[in-house]
Amino acid sequence: MARYYLHLRDLEGVLHEDDEGSELPSLAVAREQALRGVHELVGEAIKHDDELRYEAIVVADEQGAHLAAVPVVAALPSTIVSLLKHPETVVPTDRLNEYRHHADECRRKAESTADIDDKMCWLKLANAWLDMVPPTQSATVLADWPKPSDEDSKTSH
């Protein structure tokens, strides 16, 4: 068995080295371990509502040669990857109005609540719905959506 090291590469390209490594039977098994590690990184970031700080796990051998890299995107379902790359091909046009409707509903709930924390939660949900609108469609779908102003900022504090 050979020793493989699973290094983390952050978003700035800095490599955070695995000092211990693991005895594994093959490079294929090391890649599987790296993929499991990427799943854990993504899962933990989602579970803790945290930003993902890494872009890949790099598999290296005992001599330090980089043999493979498993990007974070490998942990995502293919539908989500397609949505990120080409949202206009994944989201049906009639669904855009549904997203807008949900965003409007959240905004109305935000306007009708007195609790500042509830208001912020509703506005975040509204923005999440609007973020689902592909950039190529946002101008038409969001044409009459209110634009944030300095006055809005002052009233929310």
Looking at the domain assignment, is residue 40 inside a domain?
Answer: yes
Q: Are residues 68 and 109 in the same domain?
A: no
Question: Given 76, 102, 129, which residue is the final one in a domain?
Answer: 76
34 and 67 share one domain: yes
- What average pLDDT score do residues 142-157 get? 51
Residues 25 and 60 in one domain: yes
Average pLDDT taken over every residue of the chain: 85
pLDDT band at 133 (very low <50, low <70, confident <90, very high): confident
Domain, as residue range, for 71: 2-76
Q: Does residue 6 sit within a domain?
A: yes
Q: What is the pLDDT of residue 150?
A: 47
Share of the chain above pLDDT 70, in %: 82
Residue predicted with more confidence, 130 or 120: 120
Predicted confidence (pLDDT) at residue 134 exceeds the cutoff of 90 = no
Q: State which of 41, 76, 111 marks the end of a domain.
A: 76
Shared domain for 61 and 93, answered yes or no, is no
pTM equals 0.59
Contact 6, 34 (CB under 8 A): yes
Span of 23-32, 45-54, 136-145 with lowest mean pLDDT = 136-145
Q: Given a cut of 70, is residue 44 above it in pLDDT?
A: yes
- The answer to whether residue 81 is domain-embedded is no
**Which tokens belong to 10?**
């952050």
Contacts 24+ apart (CB under 8 A), 66-70: 67/4, 67/27, 67/30, 68/27, 68/30, 68/31, 68/34, 69/9, 70/31, 70/34, 70/35, 70/37, 70/38
- Looking at this protein, which amino acid is placed at residue 120? M
Q: Residue 146 pLDDT > 60, yes or no? A: no
Q: What's the number of domains the chain is made of?
A: 2
DSSP 79: H
Q: What is the pLDDT of residue 136?
A: 63
- 113 and 147 share a domain? yes
Q: Are residues 59 and 112 in the same domain?
A: no
Q: What is the pLDDT of residues 56-105, one digit of tens each?
A: 999 999 999 999 999 999 988 888 887 777 766 666 777 878 888 899 99
What whole-number distance in Å separates Cα of residue 38 and Cα of residue 56? 7
Dist CA 107 CA 145 (whole Å): 10
Do both 98 and 143 map to the same domain? Answer: yes
Q: Are residues 8 and 59 in the same domain?
A: yes
Residues 13 and 69 in one domain: yes
Following CA atoms 148, 149, 154, 157 in sequence, which dihedral angle do they give, to the nearest 10 degrees?
A: 10
- 70-93 in b/e form (b: 16+ CB < 10 A) is bebebbbeeeeeebeeebeeebee
